[in-house]
Structure 1
Amino acid sequence: MAYTEKRTTAGGATSWVGRFRVDGRLHSTRAFRARRDALAEARRAEEAGKRGEWIDPRAGTLTVADWFTTWQQGRLDRAPRTLEAEQERFRSLVAPTFASVPLRQVSHDAVARWAATMRAPRSGEVASAARRRDAVRLLVALLDAAVDARRLTSNPARTPSGRVPALPRAPRTKAHRYLNHEQLRRVADATRADARTLVLLAGLTGLRWGEVSALRGDDVDLLRRRITVERAFTRLDDGTLLLGGTKTHARREVPVPAVLGEALAGLVASRGAGDLLFTGRSGAPLRRESFDRYAFAPAVRVAGTAVVTLQGLLGLAPTALVDSATVAAVRRLQHDAGLDASGVVGPETWQVLVAADRASRTGADRGARIARTRHLEATSRVTLRPGVQDFAPLTLHDLRHTAASLAIGGGANVKAVQRLLGHESPVLTLRTYAGLFEDDLDRLGESMSAQFEAHGAVDGAHDVLTAGVTRLPVRLGAGA
């Protein structure tokens, strides 16, 4: 039962403190001048303790920085990259404002002002909406954990209803880039021979870079035509590569594309069961930045501008589309060179074009001639047919989006695409690629229309009843 104690200072001043028990331990309130105030406070605290709602005021004296360190120590099971990103975000965006502030002194207004005005550490300008949003989410999670640990009675970053009004608006996400089958083949053909398999594998299965670079020989089952995905490389900011589980910590299988069966078989045969399928020149794990710089990005530049390159060699105005004028010029060239005038630009046609271009480089310096030769050598590996067009640059991760697009375009349902990409739920798949599934509605409408018309084409088909069913008379009355 709560009670009070009288305190007298050396100067003779009198005050009262309330005493109460919570979980069997005796606690004191702050000092009051009036006894009744101390007793009322002690009774309120004791009742809160019985409901499990009492918070020791001393627990909130821990600073935000010290609590962040404690909080992260309980999250060591998280991916190293996740912990590293949290540390960077706290250090650069949260700490300058809240590091030395005790938890109980963090106010709702202070969080709102900080969320709107936080500065980027390098430029000193207001940070981007995406960075501010991530930083606010980190602070909210930190304060939520403080509430759960009974260091705060409530999260000052939230309203009583649980909302976070200070959260900056979500930035518009970058539009996904998709390649069709012809464009994906063009990129694969334009890259180096040793990189072609990796590009097609990523573009047809949707494996993340960390997953595809961690594949081993025993992950490929050519008899079942399956690839097991259960590990991935994670790159830390200091360049260290860590091998661990996949992003969702789940094991999954993806189908082996038939077009890669022979290439994968040769690759698996050249590796040991536990060896990585794709490695750097020294045999170390293949790094994304290295592969992108020396293999993928150059191939995208070549494949994405192949039509304009062709039109330049033919002396035509660039339209980035193999249109009728381009096809006519190609056929004239093929006819004059004694080739089949198909209008399709393959190796033999490229050979004629490159030879003519080489003969015209009289005024170029040595460096320009070498660069031109390398560019045309890569371009001549692609095949251009009537109607194909150039495309804008894309990233390695866009190959994952391409796989999703091709799967959905091929009729795969949401669940199949989710399993292919390794999403945690079909909801994430729908949210990420909702626009691609709009085509399903078009196909559904066309299918239902076709079925309706097919039944209508049969005389009386819409009036035919199932055997044994009697047509009931229809009565229209006041209650109809």
Structure 2
Amino acid sequence: MAARNDRAGIDDRWFKKVRQPDGTTTTEKSAVHGKVARWRVRWVVDGREHTKVFERKADAQAHLNHLTAEVVKGSYVSPHKSAVLFRDVAQEWLDGKGARKAKTVAGYKSLLDTLILPKWGDMKLSDITHGDLQRWISGLSVNGSTKTEGKGLSASRVIQAHQCFGAVLKYAQRTDRVGRNVAEGIELPSKGESERRYLTHKQLQTLARHAERFETLTLVLGYCGLRFGEAVALRGRDVKDKQITVRTSVTNVTGQGLLEDTTKTNRARWVPVPAFIWERLQAELPVDGDALVFPGRDGGWLTTGEYRWQFDPAAIETGVPGLVPHELRHTCASLAIASGANILAVQRLLGHQTASMTLDRYGHLFSDDLEKVAKSLDTAGKKALKSTAV
């Protein structure tokens, strides 16, 4: 903590006080007069003196006032603590993410290695300013990073880079390396709304038929709303009594390959299977309860690439070129809502953390015809009036 003592304050380095034999004090030029910055701010932290020099006294006074305010607020950070390199703090922060999913940690590492550290890794925390960070963030959309120079990044990737950078600085703030997080208040690019495609029943079933050996899997994705990794992780014991128990998910982690982990929300969920799909699914279930329901050709986990070898041509045949497997999950939400499912039912079906998340993504699919609402209320109200009339 910063403390006041007789060494703290502002010194004039060009002039010095000299005591005369008669006891009076005079001001004389110092040996460094005109050779160095004139004004020096001195302050003491835990018995250790720190200094900073300025050409103008007004600037020196402003710095001293700033230091004093930080001490009062409790946000003062010792210069030797903030002199640590960004890459060292980033590594500490990353090391503390061991409890996160492997794919999440790999994503952080990718952002650091490809975007953030090449620019900021060897910079001291104390040298990182809000303005410099804003210019870098703005430039990513146009010029990319030092490793992708000349190729602008997508808005989503820029936002991810900012979130990761801000998380490292937030950790630095918690560990008393910086007094404030300069990543706060940065203007970010707008992601814009990407148009989602929702297949009809006919399109979905046509797609499944053209997917050939993956017909049942495609129907499960489109009617049960499983994520691809969740479907790939299913074992025989997970499918019974006309429902699927989703316990785990398989993801492709950079540098580690396919890994099985808990679901995105870390919770199991139970998904009902429509009768016409259940009949097909039962016929394909493995005898061994531990065996995979939808294995790859090698008997192991099915990869996205192997599935899309059949899926992509099937999408073209169906008239929806460029369709990706995850859009089958959106299709499931759309078909469920069209069939009368409420927002909570759709949330449980898809395994979203909250109903608000489901509403944010699919709320536009629910009818907003207020006239119909008024008519329904009118009908119900009149019926109640008749039943209570004397």
Q: Counterpart of 1:133?
A: 159
| Alignment match of 1:3 (pick from 5, 15, 19) | 5
Whether the 8 Å contact between 2:75 and 2:180 is mirrored in structure 1 is: no
Task: Give the letter aligned to residue 427 of structure 1.
Answer: S
Structure ranking higher in strand proportion: 2
User: Is the Cα contact below 8 Å between 2:343 and 2:358 reproduced in 1?
Assistant: yes
Where in structure 2 are the equivalents of 1:82-121 lying within 5 Å? 82-118=104-140, 119-120=143-144, 121=147
Determine if the alignment matches structure 1 residue 424 to structure 2 residue 353: yes
**Residue 61 and residue 449 in structure 1: after superposition, are their counterparts in 2 closer, same or farther (change >3 A)?**
same
1:217 aligns with 2:236: yes
Residue aligning to 1:67 = 89
Contact (CA 8 Å) 1:216, 1:277: kept in 2 or not?
A: yes
The aligned counterpart of 2:339 is: 410
Tell me if structure 2 keeps the 8 A contact 1:214–1:276: yes
Alpha-carbon distance in 2 for matches of 1:143, 1:463? 63
Q: TM-score, normalised by structure 1?
A: 0.65
**Structure-2 residue corresponding to 1:197:** 216
Residue 448 of structure 1 deviates from its aligned partner by 4.1
Q: CA deviation at 1:463?
A: 7.2
Question: With structure 2 as the length reference, what TM-score do the two structures score?
Answer: 0.79
Contact preservation (8 Å) 2:41, 2:64: no
Residue 277 (structure 1) aligns with: 293
Distance 1:296 1:30, change over 3 A: same
Contact residue 86 and residue 121 of structure 2 kept, 8 A: yes
Deviations 1:333-364 (A, max 9, x none): xxxxxxxxxxxxxxxxxxxxxxxxxxxxxxxx
TM-aligned CA distance change 1:415 to 1:150, over 3 Å: same
Q: 1:462/1:66 Cα in 2 relative to 1: closer, same or farther (>3 Å)? A: closer
Give the aligned CA root-mean-square deviation in angstroms: 3.2
Distance 2:307 2:346 in 1: 26
Q: Please name the residue that 1:466 is paired with.
A: 388
2: distance between equivalents of 1:16 and 1:123? Answer: 41
Task: Tell me what 1:446 maps to.
Answer: 372
Instruction: Specify the structure having the higher radius of gyration (Cα).
Output: 1
**Alignment length, in residue pairs?**
348
One of 177, 199, 217 as aligned partner of 2:197: 177
Q: Distance in 2 between matches of 1:303 and 1:79?
A: 36
Q: 1:109 to 1:41 in 2, by over 3 A?
A: closer
Which deviates the most, 232-241 or 244-253? 232-241
Residue of structure 2 in register with 1:299 after alignment = 314
AA matched with 2:107: A
Distance 1:19 1:397, change over 3 A: closer
- Are 2:251 and 1:229 aligned? no
Tell me if structure 1 keeps the 8 A contact 2:199–2:331.
yes
**Counterpart of 1:232 in 2: which secondary structure?**
strand
Please give the per-residue CA displacement for 1:74-107, whole angstroms capped at 9, x wherever unaligned.
1111122122222222222222321111011100
Instruction: Note the alpha carbon deviations across 1:119-144, whole angstroms, 9 max, x for none.
Output: 33245233333322221222122212
Distance 1:69 1:462 in 2: 67
Inter-partner Cα distance in structure 2 for 1:126 and 1:416 = 40
Deviation at 1:31, TM superposition (A): 4.5
Q: Evaluate the alpha carbon distance shift between residue 88 and residue 449 of structure 1 in structure 2; reply closer, same or farther with a 3 A threshold.
A: same
Partners of 1:134 and 1:19 in 2: how far apart? 39
Separation of aligned partners in 2, 1:32 and 1:174: 51
Partner SS for 2:233: coil
Using the alignment, how far apart are the partners of 1:171 and 1:236 within structure 2? Answer: 25
* Closer/same/farther in 2, CA of residues 154 and 265 from structure 1, 3 Å limit: same
Match in the other structure for 1:144: 170
Partner of 1:263: 280
Residues 436-455 of structure 1 show CA distances to partners (whole Å, capped at 9, x for unaligned) of 12x2x33x643642664698
Once the 2 structures are TM-superposed, how far is the Cα of residue 283 of structure 1 from its aligned partner? Answer: 0.5
Give runs of aligned pairs for residues 72-83 of structure 1, distance below 5 A.
Answer: 72-83=94-105
- 2:306 maps to which residue? 290
Residues 414 and 430 in structure 1, CA contact (< 8 A), matched pair in contact too: yes
> CA 1:104/1:189 → structure 2, altered by over 3 Å: closer, same or farther?
same
SS at match of 1:30: strand
Q: Which amino acid aligns with 2:223?
A: L
* Cα 1:195–1:406 shift into 2, 3 Å: same
SS of 2:47's equivalent in the other structure is strand
Return the alpha-carbon distance in structure 2 between the equivalents of residues 465 and 290 of structure 1: 63
- In structure 2, relative to structure 1, the CA distance for the partners of 1:72 and 1:454 (3 Å cut) is closer
- Percent identity over the alignment? 31
